[in-house]
Amino acid sequence: MADEEFDSDDIQRRMDGALNNLKNEFGGLRTGRASSGLVENLPVEAYGAPMPLSQLSTISVPEPRMISVQVWDRSLIQAVEKAIRESDLGLNPVVEGQLMRLPIPELNEERRQEIVKVAHKYAEQARVAVRNVRRDGMDQLKKFERDGHMSEDEQRLWGDEVQNMTDAVIKGIDEALETKETEVMQV
C-alpha cells in the first residue's frame, strides 16, 4: 500500500533535475577552452523578446580557442554582438558579415578564482534544491504515517531511502564541482 502512496521516483527525478541543472550552469562558466555551451543560452533581444542565442544562430567550435556564431537573420547581427559584449563572459566578437568569431582569451589567476567562486555558489544552490526535495519527501512520509497510510517502520525505511538518494546526489554535485574547479584552474 505504501508503494502506491509514496512516489520515490518523483523524489529521485527532482533531485536528478537539480544535478542536471547544475551541470548546465557549469557549461556556461568560461574555462579558457572554447565550448558552445558558453554562449548557447545567452539572451539576445530579438523580435521584441529575449531569446537564447542558440535559437538565432548556428554555434560551432572550429578551433580549441575560438567559437564561431553564424547568425541566421542579418537584421539581428548587431543585437547578437551587443548581447555578447554586454555579457560578463569577457568575449570580444569579430564580425564578418553574418559570421561572428569569438576568440577565447587566456584567463588570468584572479579571473580563475572568481569563476571558481561562482561555481561554488552554483553548487550550493544545487545542494539547497536537493535538501528542499528531501524535506518535501520526509514531510510527505510523516503525513502518510499520521494519516494511517503507512506504519512507522515503513516510514522509517522510506526515510532512509530518501536520505540515501540525497547523499548520492549531493556526492554527484560535489564531484561535478571538483571536476569544474580542476578544469578552471588548469593553465
pLDDT per residue rounded down to tens, the chain (187 residues): 344 567 889 999 999 999 998 988 887 776 666 778 788 888 999 888 999 999 999 999 888 888 999 999 899 999 999 998 888 777 889 999 889 998 887 777 887 888 888 889 999 999 999 999 999 999 999 998 888 888 889 899 999 999 999 999 999 999 999 998 888 887 6
pLDDT of residue 30: 65
Give span(s): CATH 3.30.1360.40, the chain. Answer: 33-103
Answer yes or no: pTM beyond 0.75.
no
Please give the CATH number for the structural domain made up of 2-26+108-185: 1.10.132.20
CATH 3.30.1360.40 fits 33-103, yes or no: yes
Cell representation of residue 47: 523580435
Cβ atoms within 10 Å of 11's Cβ, excluding its own: 24
Q: How much is the pLDDT for 139?
A: 93
Residue 35, pLDDT score = 78
pLDDT for 59 equals 92
Please list the residue range(s) of the chain that carry CATH number 1.10.132.20. 2-26+108-185
- pLDDT attached to residue 115: 83
In sequence order, what DSSP letters do the residues of the chain get, joined into one string?
-HHHH--HHHHHHHHHHHHHHHHHHHHTS--SS--GGGTTT-EEEETTEEEEGGGTEEEEEEETTEEEEEESSGGGHHHHHHHHHHSTT----EEETTEEEEE-PPPPHHHHHHHHHHHHHHHHHHHHHHHHHHHHHHHHHHHHHHTTSS-HHHHHHHHHHHHHHHHHHHHHHHHHHHHHHHHHH--
